[in-house]
Amino acid sequence: MRKLFLAGALVLFGAMNAQFKVGAHVGLPIGDTSDVYSFNVGIDAAYTWQVAENFDLGIATGYSRYIWESDLKEDIEDNGERKAPSMGYIPVAATAQYNFEGGFNIGADLGYAIYAGNLEESDAGGFYYQPKIGYTFAEKHNVYLGYKGIAEEVAVSSFNLGYAYKF
């Protein structure tokens, strides 16, 4: 009975110190990604717990879409099919953030990005990483700059500007 009470108290304590964050990002593809895609846009969600003073740890997900360059439309169409369509990823990651005095913070997401495209390539995906620096203001609003990378057969990467609201 004592173990059950202790487990319940830990769950309740964890829920009290938890924060839910939702947001969005826009970005510019870099490297080989920029040869085909013109920008990146997406939504983000995270659930974090304060595990130490100024340090949050949790889980993150969302959806990130790389949009292909419209001026290459004629070059990448072959018999009505795109050779380089816009592509989307759903990251499933651990997230961490350290908050400095004055509102500044650094963080990173590490995990796996699931390719959200046509069924023929449904097994595609890769290691997902996103280091970021940010600033929190009015205790609920966070803006950040980040580098998003997905390491798969061909690396996908972008610099991003994002915003998150903390509940």
Q: Could you read off the pLDDT of 58-78 as tens digits, one per residue? A: 999 999 999 986 645 554 555
**Is residue 156 in some structural domain?**
yes
Which of 58, 59, 42, 47 shows the shortest CA–CA distance to 116? Answer: 42
Q: Name the amino acid, one letter, at 61.
A: T
**Is residue 12 in some structural domain?**
no
Domain count, the chain: 1
Stretch among 50-64, 97-111, 147-161 having the lowest mean pLDDT: 147-161
Q: Mind listing the pLDDT tens digit for each residue in 6-21? A: 555 555 455 557 999 9
**Is residue 38 in some structural domain?**
yes
pLDDT score for 4: 55
**Is residue 10 in some structural domain?**
no
Structural domain boundaries enclosing 61: 19-166
**Is residue 6 in some structural domain?**
no
Which of 62, 25, 58 shows the shortest CA–CA distance to 158? Answer: 25
Phi and psi, residue 14, nearest 5°: -65, -40
pLDDT at position 128 over 60: yes
CA distance 133 to 159: 12
CA distances from 148 to 2, 18, 25, 43, 121 (A): 45, 25, 11, 13, 21
Residue 85: which CATH number?
A: 2.40.160.20
The answer to whether the pTM exceeds 0.85 is: no
**Is residue 13 in some structural domain?**
no
**Is residue 5 in some structural domain?**
no
**Residue 13 is inside which H or E element, if any?**
helix 2-16
**Is residue 157 in some structural domain?**
yes
pLDDT score for 155: 85
For the record, the structure tokens of 100 come out as: 């400095």
Q: Mind listing the pLDDT tens digit for each residue in 24-54? A: 999 999 998 888 889 999 999 999 999 999 9
